[in-house]
Structure 1
Amino acid sequence: MVKIFLGSADNPSALDDLRKIAVLIEHVGHFVIPWNSPGVFPLGKHMSDSLDNICKQVDAAILIFGEEHQVLFGNEFSLHPKPNLLYEYGLFKGHLGLERTIICRRGSSSIPSDLAGVIYCNLDKEFKAERELLAWLRLLSPKN
C-alpha cells in the first residue's frame, strides 16, 4: 500500500481541496495522511522532527499551493502559498524525489522562480486535475 502525505493551508478553500484529493487517493487504494490528522504532529514534539519522521514513513507527497499569503513587493501586493508549504515541498522533494512530490496549485499565486519549471496540477481546471492526479496515483508504487 502506498502512503501519501497531503499538505495544505488551514483555510476552508484549501481544506476543501485537501478533502477532494484525499478521496481520490483512497479511490485508487492508497493510504492518505493529511497534515491535520490527529497524531501527525504529536504534542510535545518539534514540527521539523515530525516532518522528518513523516518523510521516512510515506512513499509520496502532495502539497496544495494556494493564495493564502499576501506579500508586499515595492508598492504592490502579491499572493503566495504559505511559506511552510514551500518548505515542506523542498523537504519532501529532498527525501522522496521530484517524481514522488507534486504540487497542486489553486489560483494564480506567485511561486519562487526556482520552482517556475516544475509541472504542477492546476486545481482550477477540476476535470483535467482529477485525470492528472488519478494517472499519477496509479503509477505510484511503495518505496523499497
Structure 2
Amino acid sequence: MTGFADHRNDTAAQGRKQARDDGMKERFEGPERIEAAVDALKATTIVRGDEALATAIAKAGHAIDLAKDQVLISEGDVDTDLHFLLAGKARIEVKGVTVNQRGPGDHVGEIAALDPTQKRAASVVITEPGVAWKLPEPALTQIAKDHPNIWRRLAIEQAKRLVQRNALVRPANAAPKIFVISSSEAAEIANEIQLGLAHSGALVIPWGQGVFRTSEYAIESLQRMVEQCDFAIAVIAADDVTLSRDRLHLVARDNVTFELGLFMGQLGLERTILVEQRNAQVELCSDLRGITTLTYPAGADEDLSARMGTVCTQISRHIERIGVRR
C-alpha cells in the first residue's frame, strides 16, 4: 500500500512540475494579471458574470497549479478552503469510489467552507492538469458581507449536486425482486419456486424468462439483474459429473456456480439462498458454502408442488423478514 502511495505522490509531483513548466499558474499571478483572474472567475457557476464579486474573490485568493493524480482535497481532512477550477478536470471520490466529475467553471470544497465544523466529505483528485483559484474560508465569509447573494448561489449549486447524488442512489423496489438461478435441466424447480411464491407479493424471475436480451452480452444481463434484485435463489442440481482425485463427483453446472458467486458477492450471504434436493450430495466449492440452504425431498415429478411447499414457505418468511434492499 505504501508503494502505491509513493508512486501516486511521485506522479503528482511530476505533474505539478509539468504544470509549472507550462506556465498555467503564471497566467493569473501578479497585480498586472488580476484582470485575467477576474475574467476566469466570472465564468464560474457561483460568480455568474458578477465582476465586483469576481474582483473580490481574485483579490482574496491566489492561483494554484493542478497536477494529474494530485489529491486537491482529502476525505476526512479539516481544511476549509474553497477552490474554483479555472482549467483542468477532477473526479470526486467517496470512500475510494468515483461519484462525479468536475471541470472548468465548477467549484469544490464548498461544504467545509459553508460549515467549518465539518470534515471534508469527499476527496477531489485531479484527472487533467490545470489551475484553480484557492479562496480561504475566512475570506469567503468576509466577501459574503458585501456580496450576500453568494450564499444563495452556493445553495443553488449545492441543491443541484444533491439531485446529481440522488440520481446515483439505487431506488428501493416497491416489492422484493428475486432472481432464480438454475440450469435449463433444473428449470422445472425454478418455475415451481415462482409458482410457490405467487401470493407472497414478490416478483420472481426465473433464469430463462426474459432475462437475457439479444442486444446484450450474457454478463451484462446478469449485472443488470444483480443491480435490480433484492434476493437470489440458486437451484443446485446434479447437472454434471467431474473427475477429481480419481473419484467421480456430482457437480452443478458451471453457469450456476458462476452466477451464484456473482450474486452472493453483491447481495451478501443473507440475500442469497441455495435450494437443493435432500441428500443429493452435489459438490459445491467451499467458497460458496455457508449460505442459507433449503432442501426438498426426492420423489415423483407429479408430487413436485407438494415436495417444494415447505421450501417456498421458508423462502417467503425469509424474504418478509429481510425486506428489500435500501
| TM-score bin, normalised by smaller chain | 0.7 to 0.9
Distance in 2 between the 1:33 and 1:116 partners? Answer: 23
- The amino acid that maps onto 1:5 is F
Verify the 8 A CA contact 1:2 1:140 in the aligned structure 2: no
- Unmatched 5+ stretches in structure 1: none
- The amino acid that maps onto 1:142 is V
Equivalent position of 2:239 in the other structure: 68
Verify the 8 A CA contact 1:28 1:137 in the aligned structure 2: no
Distance in 1 between the 2:204 and 2:292 partners? Answer: 22
* 1:86 and 2:260 matched: no
Q: Give the CA RMSD over aligned residues.
A: 1.8
Equivalent position of 1:120 in the other structure: 293
Equivalent position of 2:318 in the other structure: 136
- The amino acid that maps onto 2:288 is L
Distance in 2 between the 1:117 and 1:101 partners? Answer: 10
Distance in 2 between the 1:59 and 1:143 partners? Answer: 6
Give the structure with higher Rg (CA): 2
Q: Superposition pairs for residues 1-144 of structure 1, below 5 Å?
A: 1-11=175-185, 14-38=186-210, 40-106=211-277, 107-124=280-297, 126=307, 128-144=310-326
Q: Which moved more, 1:53-62 or 1:107-116?
A: 107-116
Percent identity at matched positions?
Answer: 28
Distance in 2 between the 1:67 and 1:54 partners? Answer: 25
- Label 1:91 to 1:79 Cα distance change in 2 as closer, same or farther (>3 A): same
- The amino acid that maps onto 2:198 is E
Verify the 8 A CA contact 1:59 1:143 in the aligned structure 2: yes
Distance in 1 between the 2:267 and 2:323 partners? Answer: 12
* Structure 1 position 128, deviation (Å): 4.2
Distance in 2 between the 1:136 and 1:24 partners? Answer: 14
- Unmatched 5+ stretches in structure 2: 1-174, 299-306
Equivalent position of 2:168 in the other structure: none
- The amino acid that maps onto 2:283 is S
Distance in 1 between the 2:196 and 2:318 partners? Answer: 11
Aligned-partner SS, 1:27? coil
* Structure 1 position 26, deviation (Å): 1.9
How many residue pairs match? The answer is 141
- Label 1:117 to 1:3 Cα distance change in 2 as closer, same or farther (>3 A): closer
Deviation string 1:105-125 (CA, Å, 9 cap, x unpaired) is 122211112234334111227
- The amino acid that maps onto 1:118 is I
- The amino acid that maps onto 2:178 is I
Distance in 2 between the 1:76 and 1:33 partners? Answer: 36
Verify the 8 A CA contact 1:123 1:129 in the aligned structure 2: yes
Distance in 2 between the 1:143 and 1:113 partners? Answer: 26
